[in-house]
Chain A
Amino acid sequence: MLKNVTEYHIPGSLDEALSLQDRESRSYFIAGGTGLALSNSNRPVELIDLGKLHLDELHLEDESGKLEIGATTKIQQLVELDELQDFAGGYLANNLEKVGSYPIRNAGTLGGSIVRPFPWSDVVPILLSLGAKIRYFDGTHGVRDLNNLYSDDFRETLRNSIVTGIEVDLPEVGETRGRFYKFSRSEFDIASLNLGCTLTALNGKITRARMAVGARPSFARRLTEVEDFLQGQSLENDLAEEATEMAADTAGVTGDRKMSKDYRLAQVRKMTEEALTGVIGDFLEQ
Chain B
Amino acid sequence: MKITTYINDERKDFQVEPGEVLLDLLRREGYTSVKEGCKTGDCGACMVLVNGRAMTSCTLFVSQVDGKKVRTSEGLHDELAENLRKEFVEVGAIQCGFCIPGVLVSSYSLLTHNPDPTEEEIKAALDGNLCRCTGYVKQIEAIKNVARDFEGVSK
Contacts and interface: CB of A to CB of B under 8 A. Distances in A.
Interface of A: 1-8, 30, 33-34, 36-38, 44, 47, 49, 51, 76, 97, 100-104, 106-107, 187-188
Given A102-B125, A103-B55, A106-B55, A30 B44 contact: no
Given A30-B61, A33-B59, A47-B63, A188 B19 contact: no
A134 B113 CA distance: 32
B134 interface: no
B64 interface: yes
A189 B24 CA distance: 25
Contacts of B56: 103-104, 107
A47 B20 CA distance: 12
Nearest to A108: B59
Interface of B: 1, 17-21, 24, 40-42, 44, 47, 50, 53-56, 58-61, 63-64, 106, 124-125, 127-128
Contacts of A187: 127
Nearest to A49: B63
Contacts of B42: 101, 188
Contacts of A100: 41
B65 to A, nearest CB: 11
Contacts of A6: 18
Contacts of A107: 55-56, 59-60
Contacts of B64: 30, 33, 49, 51
Contacts of B63: 8, 47, 49
A5 B54 contact: no
A261 to B, nearest CB: 28
A49 to B, nearest CB: 7
